[in-house]
Amino acid sequence: MGVVALLAVSAITFFIMNLVPGGPFLSEKAPTPQVLEQLEAKYGLDKPLHVQYITWLGDIARGDLGVSFRMQKNRSVITIIKEMFPASLKVGSYSMLWAIVAGLLFGCIAAYNRGGIADSILRIVTTMGVVLPTFVTASILLVVFAGKAPSIVGINEPWYAYILPCFTLGLNPMCNIARYTRSSMLDALGQDYIRTAYAKGVRGSVVIFKHALRNALIPVISYIGPMIAYVLTGGFVVETVFSIPGLGRYFVQSISNRDYPIIMGTTMFLAAFVIVMTLFVDVLYRLIDPRIDLAREAE
């Protein structure tokens, strides 16, 4: 299923990409028709689209994602991804860590205090975090803290330079995790084994974090898997607003420059990452709840 998904993503991206007006060699100083014809012949762009796509599939099967047409001319796409991904990975790791920890904690607190002040406040905050677009959050933080927080210019900046972008990137996932956790916890807290634990005199914190949380994690993990892939590969908006030299920002620039190999290579890398994380979640289901039969689910 993962291979089929990758093929579908590659086909849709490739043909839509080539339907967009313009090309990698057209700029303010457009080359002459003769030069343009030579460039297209050099990179195989003069062939029919289906032939180009089949050729590209053959190259990627051999582990060759091609070379950049324009942004880093004739450099390997794989090399470019290796250089850009560490910055996205670092920002994404910090964002993922605080989003998961805070989301689970706030969700448990809201469920434990259902109908109380803490629950109401957290529901308002998480709803705002979900509906507020990332670029709005990033813009607000820049306006409020402009000149008070350092800008990121590389992956070797001090830890405090990552506060604003990591908070922005992790806010939406954190709010979603909190909402999923609260909903699952409320369902778990109504089960018989929870009432039995309370009847035996088990402390509320132990019931929440030891008994109820584990059984409430399945719906939460279903969201966390793809979220990890999204966060670790860097939010396009966050990297662009905060000038982070990561893969997400470079991907946006490659679209503007019609650098086809980078667009395709980055898209396939991100799609493969999401598929791997989805597979990881399926395996994690079994570790959390041994009652789940992966073979039966696959059938």
Whole-number pLDDT of residue 156 = 58
> Which positions ≥6 away from 215 have C-beta within 8 Å?
188, 191, 289
- The label of the residue with tokens 């460039």 reads 39
Q: How far apart are CA 270 and CA 276, in angstroms?
A: 10
Joined together, the tokens standing for residue 258 give: 């019609």
Over residues 272-299, mean pLDDT: 70
pLDDT in tens, 172-186: 889 999 988 888 888
Q: What is the pLDDT of residue 220?
A: 79
Long-range contacts of 285-294 (CB under 8 A, 24+ apart): 285/218, 285/221, 288/214, 288/217, 288/218, 288/221, 289/215, 289/218
pLDDT of residue 146: 66
pLDDT of 153 above 50: no
Segment 122-133, tens digit of pLDDT: 889 998 888 888
**Residue whose tokens read 């080539």:** 18
Mean pLDDT estimate for the chain: 80
Token pair in block for residue 17: 């990409």
Compute the distance between CA of residue 226 and CA of residue 206 in angstroms, rounded to an integer: 29
CB 55 within 8 A of CB 44: yes
The domains found in the chain, sorted by start residue, are 2-61 (no CATH), 85-257 (1.10.3720.10)
Identity of the highest mean pLDDT range in 3-12, 56-65, 210-219, 237-246: 3-12
Measure the CA–CA gap between 27 and 241, rounded to whole angstroms: 25
**What pTM was estimated for this model as a whole?**
0.75
Q: Is 64 helix (H, G, I), strand (E, B) or coil?
A: coil
Task: Identify the pLDDT of residue 231.
Answer: 76
Contact (CB, 8 A) for 179 and 99: no
pLDDT tens across 216-275, in order? 777 777 787 777 777 766 577 788 888 788 888 788 888 888 888 888 888 888 888 888
Average pLDDT of span 273-297? 71
Residues in the chain: 299
